[in-house]
Amino acid sequence: MSNNLSRFGVAMPQDLVKKFDKYLTKKGYSNRSEALRDLARRVVLESEQSDLNKVVAGTIVIIYDHHQNNVVSKIMNLQHDYHEEIISTMHIHLTHAECLEVLVVRGKKKRLVDLHEIVEAQKGVTYSELSVTFIDNSEDEE
């Protein structure tokens, strides 16, 4: 085993840890570190492999608690910052507290990844997923 392993503490909601542990058991992992290493390698590899300058189209799905301070206006402001990439939005009031928002997006993958990362980091956002596919190369923007 490598002697230059870094250790760090991870804080997670209890119910997420429970579900994560179930996943680990199902996948045959013997501990959380091993599983987290694999997940980290996968996301790093995915982001390195993808061509961030290509034009893609897809969706960003967001679930957030609208009671959380400022989250509604932050998400609204963000959408205006990215108005060139966001083609359409849909807002569904899922429960008393939770909102589901679907953004239909088109643009350079780099811009969409940036937008997704900012959305994901907002307090009150409990879920966010970017799903895109490359579109016709001939339409690539320079």
Strand (E) or helix (H) holding 51: none
Amino acid identity, residue 1? M
Q: Does 93 bind Ni ion (CB under 5 A)?
A: yes
- Name the residue nearer to Ni ion (CB basis): 45 or 94: 94
Q: Does 125 bind Ni ion (CB under 5 A)?
A: no
Residue for token digits 């907002």? Answer: 122
> Is 96 a known ligand-binding residue?
no
Site residues for Ni ion, 95-114, by CB under 5 A, read 99
Q: What's the rounded Cα separation, in Å, for the pair 56 and 58?
A: 7
> Is 116 a known ligand-binding residue?
no
What's the closest the beta carbon of residue 126 comes to Ni ion, in angstroms? 13
The DSSP result for 58-93, as a single string, is EEEEEEEETTSTTHHHHHHHHHHHTTTTEEEEEEEE
- Name the residue nearer to Ni ion (CB basis): 71 or 130: 71
Specify binding-site residues. Answer: 80, 91, 93, 99
Specify binding-site residues for Ni(2+). Answer: 80, 91, 93, 99
